[in-house]
Chain A
């Protein structure tokens, strides 16, 4: 068992940290305030190869592993969770299923554009009536000659409107229930595809979240991802990987919040001494650091399982559940440490607290993670 990173991983981590500190952090609060999607961040990440971290060079990727990708999401989320999820949704939810399930032609056509950063990706599963119960898809796909015709809508889609390529789930055979769902690659310019209402959110306000609308949307038959009826399996498998990305985002938020709070308590003086010298502060900080350390081990282990072709469904559920709960509780306690200042928008902690909440909800709520874990424990 080896818990030590090689110099290579340390360098990779530092490289993403430098990038996040210099390029992303300076605008994090502005994009939150303005609820603006930072296209410039995506361009910068693309230039640095960050949009194709775990994919082979042959498809325009960086030939890295999942752990390196986790580092990237973690470092981004330390300073800007919105940018973290933008990368996570693109990589784990769009590029990854194309890589895992796509034909050679599909990979050449779509993965190369996604991994090289020429295009941004998104993933559409959730519908107004199909959230946690994702098998109740109402969006339909009917085969007509060389095309499928998609009708229906998706909601809460990360990167919606900003992405060029979407992996979309739709019912091809309603009789078969979840086995009647299929996955499709949809380009933003396909006829009948449009982006609907943009959500006004509590947190991650610099990320784009909107509705996708399919009105007789024409998708070429060769854009079927996997086989007909494999959609639900593809979606679940994709979410297993996606959860590691969100777990990394949650870990990053918690670390970022702790960093801010630590800097503050060292400076802030009350009753003639700095806050760091009070035992309450010390204990709260120790507990937070302790939880973060545990979350980090779970998140890195989940990535390690995926990299080493071990089963990672339960590992990623463990990682996401613990990291998300840690992010929420750490961010809340950090706001408390800053008191009134923590509540104001002068400091980034209230933003981090708002951002943390979503990690307990999307890509499988904490309750869903508990279902996955208990199923494994009680089997």
Chain B
């Protein structure tokens, strides 16, 4: 039940290279909607170095207030320094609810805070709603997306939630909207970090990451060998898509694990997912069935993948994909 000492909804924003990440805009929009629902204020938290320029964007996406903690020691994301900064911010300003992006850093930070605050954390939320009794219910996929659960936090505040990517639509930005900027000074020592980021290896230029991709082309055991991925890559290049793979293809050593889609790989929800030579094992389906549209190519018309596909092409992928490439090229050239 509401604790009057703790007020408002915070969105903890991810930023890198002077930009607020896409999922953070979704998180901020979710915070705005939740604040409206609870009739409280929505605030954004910006942690980092040289980040004060980002406040305007936070206001445009619905923040009433932006806490800015600008410190050289926050240049790289590190659990200890970010955790310490946010912990002290929470103890001073007492939010009731904090939302994070369900990213690696988001989970890293939120789980650390849950440990220090001893408060509830719900990760990967796709919906936040109040039920009839006014309880805040978070819906989240479990078992790799095979099931959903509704959960509710109890006990001490603030309650923590991480928001699943592509689950909550960002608001239309309102340019020119402003609010209070609250600069916060922290006593951070380099010693506190306990860790040093020696190097950041950015994702290979031009390579589209699975989790960000709008279109994914995936290959499985049906490719027959590692060379099959050349064809998959060609189709992906045609569509500016990322390349995914089934566990069978990864286990066979045809493609690195980073491309694996499924329960023990990445969970994805692109606009279009093209599965080539993937039979559709349960673990794979769990990781991709939230894609908007699924196209499956398989020789075996009994393959379980067809049960999830909007369009199932029964045929040899080595005959089908070249035609696809040719057709898609025509479509793309016409733009």
Contacts and interface: CB of A to CB of B under 8 A. Distances in A.
Direct touching of A and B (C-beta under 8 Å): yes
Contact of B302 (A22, A26, A264): A264
Interface string B238-252: 000000000010011
**A contact residues, range:** under 10
14 contacts: A22-B251, A26-B221, A26-B248, A26-B251, A26-B252, A264-B302, A267-B302, A267-B304, A267-B307, A268-B302, A341-B300, A341-B302, A346-B299, A346-B300
Interface of A: 22, 26, 264, 267-268, 341, 346
Contacts of A268: 302
Nearest to B280: A267
Nearest to B224: A30
A346 B221 CA distance: 13
Given A22-B251, A26-B248, A346-B299, 11 more contacts: A26-B221, A26-B251, A26-B252, A264-B302, A267-B302, A267-B304, A267-B307, A268-B302, A341-B300, A341-B302, A346-B300
Contacts of A267: 302, 304, 307
Contacts of A264: 302
A233 to B, nearest CB: 47
Contacts of A341: 300, 302
A21 to B, nearest CB: 11
A267 to B, nearest CB: 5
A16 to B, nearest CB: 18
Interface string B284-312: 00000000000000011010100100000
Contacts of A22: 251
Nearest to A344: B300
Contacts of B251: 22, 26
**B contact residues, range:** under 10
A139 B27 CA distance: 82
A279 B248 CA distance: 34
Contacts of B304: 267
Nearest to A266: B304
A148 B248 CA distance: 52
A370 B304 CA distance: 44
A26 B253 CA distance: 12
Interface in B97-111: none
**Residue of B251, B299, B300, B302 contacting most chain A CB atoms (<10 Å):** B302
Nearest to A22: B251
Contacts of B252: 26
Top 3 nearest A-B pairs (CB, nearest first) are A268-B302, A267-B302, A346-B300
**Residue of A264, A267, A268 contacting most chain B CB atoms (<10 Å):** A267
Contacts of B300: 341, 346
Contacts of B307: 267
A26 B299 CA distance: 18
A41 to B, nearest CB: 15
Contacts of B302: 264, 267-268, 341
A264 B301 CA distance: 11
Nearest to B221: A26
A268 B302 CA distance: 6
A28 B248 CA distance: 14
A26 B300 CA distance: 18
Nearest to A30: B224
A267 B285 CA distance: 15
Nearest to A347: B300
A22 B299 CA distance: 23
A319 B103 CA distance: 56
A26 B225 CA distance: 12
A268 B300 CA distance: 11
A346 B300 CA distance: 8
A341 B221 CA distance: 19
Interface string B77-121: 000000000000000000000000000000000000000000000
B308 to A, nearest CB: 13
Nearest to B252: A26
Nearest to B248: A26
B306 to A, nearest CB: 9
Nearest to B306: A267
A346 B299 CA distance: 9
Contacts of B299: 346
A174 to B, nearest CB: 54
A346 B222 CA distance: 11
A29 to B, nearest CB: 11
A73 B241 CA distance: 45
